């Protein structure tokens, strides 16, 4: 049922009351139901804006101190921190003897047996298997489309550091992000719309698949969860209380959408239950936002002030399997709200944290990153982080005086020590960076592995940022050449002030 203007006004007032507009421009924070940052306005292009929202002076005196260069040239970390390489594409091997696949992306950590941690990791490999030197092996019984290169692996990390790795699902394509479920499984998302006959595929792609990290038998004979739609999926989170799924779409021409899937009446979530759903089960809807004056908002990049609150309606998707037209193209002007680079999501504080990584010419206004918070009960979407478009881009992407600068938020996770940890997929040098609950950013790690040349350096993005169930280890991937890392150190509860 649509929100009325009066309902939205009341809910906006309640949502906005808890937003603390403090701190440096563009910094991130978490608090109950809120991220906080200084109220700032971005100009039409954003390029003449002086506060770029990349940390800068906002992270003095917080976090764990400056990053120290790694003698091995891989990962700069604060003093007292260390890392372990758990898997490396083309070097470490699976239990079956094949090499670890490349292009690690979205990852989740689950508690395994006898104190082990199980890491389910996507491999973002698009197109035919022949295009990749280290595709996901076609393990018997776990293959959806034998022509596709992607899939998921499961890495078991035992208490004394020993590891074992195996295939969770194979024959899927462009497995980018995804999300864990309250019942202990992983939902892997295909960021593609390839149909059978395109790019060498023998089956349709663009679906979500469920992977059980503990029970390999449950993964046999994989079939897509067609009820969740076929489009360029990025991430998914589950509202364990209401049963809704929220899903982001990373696409342009036109820009992608945020979706909500509502289960059919009487449906109960749990292991193996999603596989029983009919292809048209439940209701898949796309979001439509409007401002406090009741005016339709066509694109999330229109928001230029931290604390902007939009009301949200949900509009039914006509053809969720996109048999003739891509789902996002099934809506005309004024029917839905769009956003560029809808990326990572994380459930926390009773709602959904979701990222729009950047906006360029495909959007009404430019920015270097937004983080929004959707409150399901109030049906409001609040802008919590705005990174102004930075005119300084390239390999020398750093702040004066050696300060770390951040842009292009992608994967995010909530830290057990307060605030967020964000994987950067921006310009130049790539970071993992954190944010306190009061809204101040700080560096956690910097990728020092140069995939380019000395004259033209290239640094791969970080992906799959997630904490172990006990909170002692932060896992992350360097996507190219494909390295999974475990980071440990003197973690501490960060102050709010």
Secondary-structure breakdown of the chain: helix, strand, coil percentages, each rounded to the nearest 5: 10, 35, 55
Report how far apart, in Å, the C-alpha atoms of 112 and of each of 115, 234, 483 are. 6, 26, 22
With beta carbons less than 8 A apart as the criterion, state whether 413 and 346 touch.
Answer: yes
With beta carbons less than 8 A apart as the criterion, state whether 229 and 327 touch.
Answer: yes
Which pLDDT belongs to residue 58?
43
Q: Which of 212, 208, 99, 105 is CA-nearest to residue 154?
A: 212
Strands 369-375 and 380-387: antiparallel
Instruction: Give SS3 for 460.
Output: coil
pTM for the model: 0.88
Q: What is the CATH number of the domain that holds 145?
A: 2.120.10.30
Q: Which two tokens stand for residue 298?
A: 């066509």
Residue 494 lies in a domain: no
Residue 215 lies in a domain: yes
Task: Tell me the residue range of the domain where 257 lies.
Answer: 5-488
* Run means of pLDDT, 10 residues per run, the chain, 497 residues: 52 38 27 30 32 37 91 98 98 98 98 96 97 98 98 96 96 97 98 97 98 96 98 97 97 96 96 96 98 96 93 98 98 96 92 92 91 94 82 45 72 88 92 74 94 96 97 97 98 77
At 301, give phi and psi (nearest 5°): -65, -10
Q: How far is CA 8 from the centre of its chain?
A: 28
Beta pairing partners, 188: 178, 209
Which pLDDT belongs to residue 434?
85
Using a 10 angstrom Cβ sphere, with 0-12 exposed, 13-18 middle and 19 or more buried, the burial of residue 456 is exposed
Q: Which two tokens stand for residue 181?
A: 């479920």
Residue 496 lies in a domain: no
Q: Residue 126 carries which DSSP code?
A: -
Residue 338 lies in a domain: yes
Q: Which two tokens stand for residue 6?
A: 């009066």
At 423, give phi and psi (nearest 5°): -95, 125
Radius of gyration in angstroms for the set of CA atoms belonging to the chain, rounded to a whole number: 21
- When divided into structural domains, the chain yields a total of 1
Q: Which two tokens stand for residue 377?
A: 């009960």
Report how far apart, in Å, the C-alpha atoms of 138 and of each of 130, 153, 332 are. 13, 11, 41
The secondary structure of 411-448, three-state, reads: EEEECCCCCEEEEECCCCCCEEEEECCCCCEEEEEEEC
Residue 113 lies in a domain: yes
Residue 497 lies in a domain: no
Q: Which two tokens stand for residue 96?
A: 């079956």
Using a 10 angstrom Cβ sphere, with 0-12 exposed, 13-18 middle and 19 or more buried, the burial of residue 122 is buried
Rounded to whole angstroms, how far apart are CA atoms 444 and 434? 6
Residue 222 lies in a domain: yes
Residue 141 lies in a domain: yes
């Amino acid at each position: 049922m649509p929100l009325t203007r009066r309902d939205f006004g009341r809910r906006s007032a309640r949502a906005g009351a808890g937003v603390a507009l403090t701190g440096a421009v563009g910094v991130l924070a978490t608090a109950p139901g809120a991220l906080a940052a200084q109220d700032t306005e971005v100009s039409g292009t954003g390029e003449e804006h002086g506060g770029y929202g990349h940390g800068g002076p906002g992270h003095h005196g917080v976090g764990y101190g400056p990053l120290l260069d790694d003698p091995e040239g891989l990962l700069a970390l604060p003093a007292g921190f260390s890392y372990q390489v758990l898997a490396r594409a083309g070097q470490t091997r699976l239990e079956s003897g094949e090499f670890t696949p490349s292009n690690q992306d979205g990852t989740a950590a689950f508690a395994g047996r006898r104190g082990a941690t199980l890491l389910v990791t996507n491999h973002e490999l698009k197109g035919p298997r022949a295009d990749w030197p280290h595709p996901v092996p076609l393990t018997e019984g776990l293959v959806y489309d034998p022509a596709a290169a992607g899939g998921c692996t499961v890495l078991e990390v035992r208490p004394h550091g020993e590891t074992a790795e195996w295939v969770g699902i194979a024959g899927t394509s462009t497995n980018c992000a995804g999300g864990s479920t309250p019942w202990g499984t992983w939902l892997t998302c295909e960021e593609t719309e390839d149909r059978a006959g395109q790019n060498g595929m023998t089956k349709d792609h663009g679906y979500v698949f469920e992977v059980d990290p503990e029970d390999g038998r449950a993964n046999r004979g994989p079939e897509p969860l067609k009820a969740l739609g076929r489009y360029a999926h990025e991430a998914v989170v589950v509202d364990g209380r209401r049963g809704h799924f929220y899903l982001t779409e990373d696409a342009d021409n036109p820009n992608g959408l945020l979706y909500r899937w509502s289960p059919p009446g009487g449906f109960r979530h749990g292991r193996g239950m999603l596989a029983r759903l009919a292809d048209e089960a439940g209701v898949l809807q796309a979001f439509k936002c409007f401002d406090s004056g009741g005016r339709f908002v066509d694109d999330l990049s229109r928001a230029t002030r931290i604390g902007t609150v939009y009301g949200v309606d949900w509009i039914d998707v006509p053809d969720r399997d996109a048999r003739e037209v891509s789902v996002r193209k099934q809506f005309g002007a004024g029917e839905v709200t769009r956003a560029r680079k809808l990326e990572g999501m994380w459930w926390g504080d009773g709602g959904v944290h979701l990222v729009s990584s950047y906006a360029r010419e495909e959007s009404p206004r430019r920015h270097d990153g937004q983080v929004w918070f959707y409150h399901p009960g109030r049906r409001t979407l609040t802008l919590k982080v705005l990174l102004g478009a930075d005119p300084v881009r390239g390999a020398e992407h750093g702040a004066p005086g050696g300060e770390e600068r951040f842009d292009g938020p992608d994967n995010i996770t909530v830290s057990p020590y307060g605030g967020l940890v964000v994987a950067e997929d921006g310009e130049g040098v790539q970071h993992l960076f954190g944010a306190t609950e009061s809204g101040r950013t700080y560096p956690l790690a910097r990728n020092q592995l140069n995939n380019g040349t000395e004259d033209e350096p290239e640094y791969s993005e970080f992906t799959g940022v997630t904490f172990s169930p006990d909170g002692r280890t932060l896992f992350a991937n360097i996507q190219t050449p494909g390295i999974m890392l475990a980071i440990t150190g003197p973690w501490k509860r960060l102050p709010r002030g």
